[in-house]
Chains A and B, each alone.
Chain A
Amino acid sequence: MKYSLYPGCAGEATTKEAWSATSRVLDFLGMDVTENDAYSCCGAGIVEEEDPEFEYTLNARNFALAEKEERDIVVICNTCLLTMLNTKKTLAENQTLFRQVNADLAEIGLEYKGEVRIKHFMWLLRDDIGLDRLKELVKVPIRNVKIAPFYGCHIVRPSEIIGDDKEPDFLSRLIEACGAEEVDYDHKYNCCGFHILLNDQATSLKMTEKCLSNAEKAAADMLVTPCTLCHISLDGYQKPANINHRTEIPVLHLAQMLGLALGLGPKELGLDKNMVGVDKVLSNLRA
C-alpha cells in the first residue's frame, strides 16, 4: 500500500512534533510514504459552514493530487479525517455535485475519480501492520507507566461517516502492546473542547480539564491521543485549564508513544516539544 502523508495545518505549525514523529515511525515500519507540498487545508468543516461547495472542492483537489500519484491519504488529525470522509461521502451520494466539482477541477488539470482512500494513522497501524506485528517490533517496552487512551471525537463520531465501531479499543490494545498498563476511564471518547478554544475559551478549558482530571482520578500517569488538535487542548492548554492545581499529566502523540516502544530516540520523536514535560515517562524507561 502506498501512502501520502497529510500533516494538516496543526501538524505543520503548533504540533510539528506529531508530524515528524509519525514520519519517523512510518519509515521505521518500512511503509512507502511520500509528502506533497501542494495539499491545501481540508477546511475543517468550518469552511463548510460558510461555503460547502468550496470545502468539497478543496478536498476533491487534494484527493485528485493523491490519485495522480496512485497513493492513499494518511492523516494525523481527527478533524482532517472527518472532513475528508464527509467530502467523500457527500460527493459519492450526489452525482450532480460530483460532476460539477470535476468540471471545476478540469480547469486546473485535475480529476477526482473517487478512488482514493482516507486513513487515519491509527487505522493504518490497525489495518496495514496489525497488533501482532507491532508487538513483535517493540524493542523498549514502556513499563511501569499507566497510560489513558484519549480517542477524540472525530475518529469516533458521527458513526454514519466514521464507521460503525462506536467504542473502538485499538488505542487501548496498542498501549498494552507497547508494554504499558492501559487505564480505563469514563472520558476516553469525550470531547477535549478544542473547537471552541477561541469562540468560548472558558468553556473549552472546562471541557479539557474534565477529561484530564477524570484520567488523573483513574490513576493515569499520562495520556495518549491520535489527534493533533486534541493534543493542543490537552497538552498545550493544560496549564490554563488546570484550575484545581492537580499534578500535571504528560500527553503523548500516538506516534511518540509507539516510537518510544520501537526504540526511537526522544529527540527524534520531538518529546522536548511537549508543553507538559515527559521526563517521568523517560526515567521509567531507563529504570
Chain B
Amino acid sequence: MSLRRRLAPYWLMGPGLLWLILFFVVPMYFMGEMALRSGTLATGYTFDWAWSNFPDSLSGRGDQIGRTFFYSGTATVLALLIAYPLAYAIAFRAGRFKLLLLFAVIAPFFTTYLIRTIAWKTILSDDSPVVSVLQTLSLTPGDGRVLATSGAVIAGLTYNFLPFMILPLYANLERLDLRLVEAAKDLYSSSRTAFIKVTLPLTMPGIVAGVLLTFIPAFGDYINAQLLGGTGQAMIGNVIQSLYLAQRDYPEAAALSFLMMGLILAIVLVYIRFAGTEAFMGDEVEEET
C-alpha cells in the first residue's frame, strides 16, 4: 500500500474529527470547569473546586427530576405502542402505499419543531373541538382543561419524538425474514405465539434502538414542558435553560447539565457495548482488506 493511500484516511477524517473535538469534546471540559466554580453573577465566577455544586444542583429539584423520568418514560412507552404496529403495517401490509406512509412518518420533520409544538398548543387549547370531545367523554381532569397538564406535555413529547421510534423499528422489521414466521406457523404455532417467540425477539434490536433514540431527546427536552405545560410541569431541561439563560447561575447550571450528560452517556455506552453503534450508524461496515 502506498504512503499516499495510507495517509489518505487521516486527511479525510482530520477536519471532521477536529471540529468534533474542538466543539463537542472540549466544550464538555469547559462545562466541567464551569461546574466547579463558585461566586455570584455580580462578582464573577472563579474556579475553586466547588464540588458542592453537584449536590446543590440536585437539591430541591426532586419534583423536576421525577417528572423528567416520568414524562420521558411514559412518552417512550406510548411511542413504542403507537410505532410498532405502524412500522409493522408499513413493512408488510402497506403494499403500494408504502412510500406514502413512510413519507407521512417523516413529514413532521418538514415543519419547524417549534411551530409543530405551537400547533399542538392550539389543538389542545380550551376552545378547540378536540378538547370539547375529550370533555364530553369525561377524559379531562377536573377543571376541563388539557393545556398546562402533565397529559399535554406527555402528548407533545410522544408526538415530537415518534419518528425516532418508527424509523429504527421499520428498518429492523423490513429485514425480518418472514419465512421464519411461516416456519413457526407450519410447526403449529398460533399467530400470537409466532409473534412472541419469533417476530418480537428478532425485532428486539430495533425496539431497543427506538427506545433509546426516543428517550434521550425527550429526557433533555424543555420546549414541550414550556409551551404545553404550566408552572407545575417543568422538567430538568427547563431548569438548565432558565439557570443558564435567565438567572445566569452558570456553575449550578453546568453541574446539572454535566450530571444529565453523565447519565445519558452511561446508558449509551452500555448500549453500544452490547449492541455496537448500529442503532445510530445503520448497517455495520464490512471491513475492507
Task: Tell whether A pairs with B.
Answer: no
Give residues in A with beta carbon < 8 Å to B. Answer: none
